[in-house]
């Protein structure tokens, strides 16, 4: 059975990719690393939901859930222009790179041959960009990046998460997506 390290953005978004990868013959280990999540209470809620999901679905997990907001903000320090766009080509690419590169580092360190990400289940993420970033990082670390369009299972995974009582987030995670979700309504 092939081993894969799965970057997990949250519990609900992990359900379908986990099932899909297992069905494809992978032995999956989860890795939660999301320095973009803001505020801290949101981070804790998502991490807790992920841990509950891992227990319920018997997903082995690697430690790595440290809160890294400073790293995310520092990476964005020179971004100009589109940082407040709902899906920013610059901001989102930096975010994908941070999360997938840390996953690749852990993947390489712990002897996995490939990695993937639950970001690929979301219809709200830029799949082409995730794929490009993942493939570049995989090449740099001499690993495989498993791209799969998990979006057809998004609603099914979300339904399972609701039934299990997992915390369901309302925005991507960063302060900019939170503003897009809540602040723009107030601006009008």
Q: Give the pLDDT of the chain (188 residues) as one tens digit per residue.
A: 699 999 999 999 999 999 999 999 999 999 999 998 888 998 999 999 999 999 999 999 998 767 888 888 788 777 766 655 555 567 788 899 999 999 999 999 999 999 999 999 999 889 999 999 999 999 999 999 999 999 999 999 999 999 999 988 876 766 666 656 666 555 44
Task: State the pTM of this model.
Answer: 0.89
The pLDDT value given to residue 90? 78
- 3-state secondary structure at position 116: strand
Q: CB neighbours of 14 closer than 8 A, spacing ≥ 6? A: 6, 8, 30, 50, 53, 54, 57, 59, 118, 157
The Cα–Cα gap between 128 and 47 comes to 26
The pLDDT value given to residue 175? 60
The pLDDT value given to residue 166? 93
Name the CATH superfamily housing domain 2-187. HUPs (3.40.50.620)
26 backbone φψ class: left, alpha, beta (φ>0; ψ -120 to 50)? beta
The pLDDT value given to residue 168? 82
Domain coordinates of the chain in residue numbers?
2-187
The Cα–Cα gap between 43 and 60 comes to 20
């Amino acid at each position: 059975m092939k081993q894969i390290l799965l970057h997990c953005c949250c519990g609900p978004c992990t359900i379908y990719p986990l099932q899909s990868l297992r069905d494809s013959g992978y032995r999956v280990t989860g890795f939660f690393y999301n320095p973009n999540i803001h505020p801290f209470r949101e981070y804790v809620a998502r991490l807790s939901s992920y841990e509950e999901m891992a227990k319920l679905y018997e997903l082995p997990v690697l430690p790595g859930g440290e809160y890294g907001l400073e790293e995310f903000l520092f990476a964005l320090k020179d971004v100009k222009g589109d940082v407040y766009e709902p899906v920013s080509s610059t901001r989102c690419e930096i975010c994908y790179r941070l999360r997938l590169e840390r996953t690749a580092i852990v993947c390489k360190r712990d002897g996995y041959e490939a990695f993937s990400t639950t970001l690929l289940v979301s219809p709200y993420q830029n799949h082409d960009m995730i794929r490009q970033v993942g493939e570049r990082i995989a090449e740099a670390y001499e690993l495989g990046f498993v791209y799969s369009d998990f979006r057809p299972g998004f609603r099914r995974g979300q339904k399972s998460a609701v039934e299990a009582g997992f915390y369901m987030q309302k925005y991507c995670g960063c302060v900019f997506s939170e503003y897009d979700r809540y602040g723009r309504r107030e601006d009008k």
